[in-house]
Structure 1
Amino acid sequence: MTAPAPPAYDPFSYAVHEDPYPTFAWMREHAPLYRNEERDFWALSRHEDVLAALRAPALFSSRNGISLEADLWGPDAVKTSGFLAMDPPAHGTMRRLTSPAFKRAWVAAWEPRVRALARARLEPLLDRDEFDFAADFAAALPHDVMCEVMGIPAADRDRIRADNDLLNTCEDGSEVRGKATLDAGLRLAVYYVGLVQQRRRRPGDDLASALASARADGRPLTDSQLVAFLFLLVSATNESTGKLLGNAWYHGRQVPGLGRAGLAGRARDWGAETLRYDSPSQMMARVLAEPATLHGTRLPAGARIALLPASANRDRRVFADPDRFDLDRDTGRHIAFGHGPHYCLGAALAELEITVALEELGRVARDYEIDLARAERVHSPHQRGFARLPTILVRR
């Protein structure tokens, strides 16, 4: 009998997006250094390997960006990815311009406003028989928060979010972004340039204004650097935190009793275990700065490496019974927010948004239903989540 072919990992495949975890499990056990010849990259899937790579930016460099898409990878990646496409020390210089705004004390002071924004998004949905949890609430709330932090007017937020959704979509099997994605990126760039110029003329009490007056290495930031900051902070927030909330909501219906327990007071645990169990951050790319031997294979400088934190968070070497969703699990070793110098800048804010969102849902609902036949996943090489989750709340 012929042995079955090993599963193929392709971050641009819709089939992989539907459920990557069986493929990840096979890779961890049989191909911890996985090779995709067609896409010309290697992949690391074990927790130990991904963590070590994140801790070693001098070897696993971000200088070509974090995306394998053909038009986002290369020495010009900094133009679209900002400091994500930089290595220390330049990375630290740019990151420090924003980090004071995301420290835990600053985040804690924002809790009342985050809660008010959550209620503002949730209250109109309560009058509906059904609403789309993914679009109407999960993606909207973190986007509202970051837009408020940056000083983007409320009237513009939903339009910007729609373009951000297009910006992070891939076509099945293609590593080249389509026309709709490119057009969305252009519209966002034009909007952000206008916002930057406005803040230079009339600064306000917001992060965009603070960045517009900031200096790096003694020089003011250029318009292109400021636009890169806006792409990074606004788009990344919408992508990651919104997708995480959708994943939590989905598993709350799939795992018996989970949704009811989460709504009844386990919001923080619900969010934390979702980060480990089904992280929205699936893949990030690096380039080897010099030759290295990984799992007995000598790789040349310039080799493209895909790091898979979502696979690492299901590694049995670190998490017992990793394919079980466990509200009582110690999730302290998950790497959904990365590690090392590129650890997620907005991690504390994301944790607050996730907890507040689920708590506010628990305030008004004791259970819910999802029409799974009409649920739709997003298709991105980097992010896992839902574009649509038709939901009916069971009110308290």
Structure 2
Amino acid sequence: MLQFDPFDHALHADPWPVYERLREEAPLYRNDELDFWALSRHADVSAAFRDSGRFSSAYGATLELWGPDAHQTGSFVAMDPPRHTQVRALVSAAFTPRRVAAMEPAIRKLARHHLDAALSEGGTFDLVADYSTKVPVDVISAMLGVPEHDRDRLRDWSERILAREEGVRGASQAMTEAGAALAGYYAELVASRRREPAGDLTTALIGAEIDGVRLADHDIVPVLILLGVAGNETTTKLVGNAWHAAWRHPGQRAAAWAGNIPGWIEETLRYDGPGQMSVRRVSADTVLHGATVPAGSRMLLLTGAANRDPRVFPDAGRFDIARDTADAIPFAVGRHFCLGAGLARLEARIMLEELVAAVREDYEVDAGRAVRAHNPNVRGFASLPTSVVAR
């Protein structure tokens, strides 16, 4: 019998066989125990993302924090129009293509700094802890106005918010405590910026208005939590997954070292992207694959499964950085397309370029000591011990 439990740690290690069975045997899957439905085929997932009226985000994007108050932690990710449109517009000005592109020199300087530190002890380091997590944390922290001496704390809280303990299918105590700590920190940051404005996004949100009304602290803090967590974890996992995939596929690694780093990133996003699923609330009775999904149901949109759908991607289980990935949906599509997708791609490109410039392609990953991060929505590594030889 086909069983799909998104909290299962064994699934996180290798979800692909289950995804294949879902696509072929149960394209509309029902889990009575956890009370959700799931879509896994590319066409279904893409259509649901685009139909934000029928597949509402108002109850949040995760099973653990599902409910009408999800916006208190998820901000505009847990909103429908018109509020979603209004709040997202306030933040999107900081993520325009022009502004993101202008960040490249600063990001490259950070990448070189952290990579130099990682390599300073010799040829062995943790790709995640020593490098791929540090750069995006610094970048998003600088955007929000978080001082350098607080960034390790914020990274720790972010990791604990996303970590899921074996057997726990809801919000754990550690997750709740870390969320409260992060909310408290950002509330203090907002209070500080109200007293002493600065040139950061937090100050900009304090001065922003929707229909002539300034945002309250309870509107601003969830935005900061969302950006502070998603703004570092997505890129961290993307770079780690890319490093691991290239290590497992030497021919593709050689092509990456030969210059196809953009292809390396895009194929990683398709083949083993950090975004695995997102949850929606079905707003009206909906017939899918011959069955009626009742209004109010929880629907999982399995991005990770959709991006390996052989109906769209021939030989979908093969890692090929020369592949055409135009139809991949690693950052969703439609109204809730990831606001930070451009920044994540830029950070990943710079970080991988610096790695390729610094070390030979015949690196080794200690798979026996690698530690996978466990979260239904986000896939990647918490630790990836690596041995390299400098170029």
Which TM bucket (shorter chain)? over 0.9
The answer for the alignment partner of 1:169 in structure 2 is 163
The answer for the alignment partner of 1:248 in structure 2 is 242
Contact 1:57/1:88 (8 A) holds in 2? no
Q: How does 1:306-321 map to 2 (within 5 A)?
A: 306-321=300-315
- Stretches of structure 1 that go unaligned for 5 or more consecutive residues are none
The answer for the alignment partner of 1:113 in structure 2 is 106
Q: Displacement, 1:283? A: 1.0
Q: What SS class does the counterpart of residue 374 from structure 1 fall into?
A: coil
* Residue 296 of structure 1 pairs with residue 266 of structure 2: no
The answer for the alignment partner of 1:104 in structure 2 is 97
Distance 2:232 2:62 in 1: 17
Contact 1:263/1:365 (8 A) holds in 2? no
The answer for the alignment partner of 1:30 in structure 2 is 25
Q: Displacement, 1:263? A: 3.1
- CA RMSD between the two structures: 1.0
Q: Displacement, 1:178? A: 2.0
Cα deviation, 1:159-204, whole Å, max 9, x if unaligned, reads: 1101100000112232222222222111111110110111111111
Counterpart amino acid of residue 96 in structure 1? A
The answer for the alignment partner of 2:16 in structure 1 is 21
- Stretches of structure 2 that go unaligned for 5 or more consecutive residues are none
Distance 2:156 2:257 in 1: 29
Distance 2:315 2:172 in 1: 40
Distance 2:167 2:177 in 1: 20
Q: What SS class does the counterpart of residue 285 from structure 1 fall into?
A: strand
Distance 1:173 1:39 in 2: 13
Contact 2:63/2:170 (8 A) holds in 1? no
Structure 1 runs (4+) deviating above 3 angstroms are: none
Cα deviation, 1:358-391, whole Å, max 9, x if unaligned, reads: 0011111122111110001000011100000001
Distance 1:35 1:172 in 2: 22
Q: Displacement, 1:98? A: 0.9
Distance 1:59 1:366 in 2: 50
Q: Aligned match of 1:210 in 181, 186, 204?
A: 204
Q: Displacement, 1:74? A: 0.6
The answer for the alignment partner of 2:221 in structure 1 is 227
* Residue 88 of structure 1 pairs with residue 81 of structure 2: yes
Q: Aligned match of 1:67 in 54, 62, 66?
A: 62
> Which moves more between the two structures, 272-281 or 362-371?
362-371
Q: How does 1:263-278 map to 2 (within 5 A)?
A: 263-278=257-272
Contact 1:65/1:77 (8 A) holds in 2? yes
Q: TM-score, normalised by structure 2?
A: 0.98
Q: Aligned match of 1:346 in 335, 340, 357?
A: 340
Q: How does 1:24-63 map to 2 (within 5 A)?
A: 24-63=19-58
Contact 1:263/1:358 (8 A) holds in 2? no
> Which moves more between the two structures, 363-372 or 251-260?
251-260
Contact 1:77/1:85 (8 A) holds in 2? yes
Identity %: 49
Q: TM-score, normalised by structure 1?
A: 0.96
Distance 2:220 2:383 in 1: 32
